[in-house]
Chain A
Amino acid sequence: MPGKQFPSFAAAVADIPDGATIAFGGFAMPGTPFNLIAALAEHGARGLTLIANTTGGAQQPRMPDIGMLVERGQVRKVICAFTAATRASDVLPFTKYYESGEVEAELVPQGTLAERLRAAGAGIPAFYTPTAVGTELAEGRETRVIDGREYLLEYALPVDYAFLRARRADTFGNLLFHRSQRNFNPVMATAARIAIAEVEEPILPAGAIDPDAVHTSGIFVHRLVEIPPPPAGLWPQKRQERVRP
Chain B
Amino acid sequence: MKILVCISNVPDTTTRIRFTGSKKLDTAGIQWVINPWDELSLTRALELKDANPGLVESVTVAHVGPVSSEPTIRKALAIGADSAIRVNSDAHDAYFVAAQLAEVVKADNFDLILCGIESSDFNGSTVGGMLAEFLQYPSVSAVSGINIENGNLSLTREIDGGKELLSLAVPFVAIVQKGIAKEPRIAAMRGIMMARSKPIKLVEPVMTEPLTEIVSYEMPPEKEACRFIDADKPGELIDILQNVEKVI
Binding between chains A and B: no
